Amino acid sequence: MRLGQFTFGDFYLRRITRIIPALLATIVLGLAVSIALMTPNDLVYAAKQGLAAVFSVSNIFFWLEADYWDPNSRYKVFLHTWSLGVEEQFYLLYPLMLWLAFRLGGRNGIITLLLLMLIGGTLASELWLHSSNPAVSFYLTPLRSARC
């Protein structure tokens, strides 16, 4: 950004070419195996999970459903994609926030943003949501990013 060489198009194109091919291959293979092994109802459920993964919201999909340690997790073919949802949401928002902070305050703007995110996210995750609703601090992007 400081050199004026950053573009959102290049940034997102690199993310897409890195993530999407592997994600689509995983979903196609997972659904193919699901067709062979699952009942029709379970297959519909697997397809919903795959769709959530394609739209980068699988973390929200699984958060709305149940706890990560749910005994029925073995039926969640794409449960592992929750972290990809967090990553993709992070990539969608973080560069925009950094760009805005840089435009408004330069290097100091970025430092301020990072400190606010670190302190605010950690406090919200650890002190507020982790004790009252651990699934939120586990699955959702702002709080997960603070915990990582």
* 46-84 exposure pattern, b = at least 16 Cβ within 10 A, e = fewer: bbebbebbeebbbbbbbbebeeeeeeeeeebbbbebbeb
Query: pLDDT for 91-104, tens place per residue?
Result: 888 889 999 999 99
Gap between the Cα atoms of 119 and 138, Å rounded = 17
Which pLDDT does position 66 carry in this prediction?
65
Query: pLDDT for 2-19, tens place per residue?
Result: 777 888 888 889 988 999
Mean pLDDT of the chain: 85
Is 121 a residue whose pLDDT tops 90? no
Q: What is the pTM of this model?
A: 0.77
- pLDDT band of residue 20 (cuts 50, 70, 90) is very high
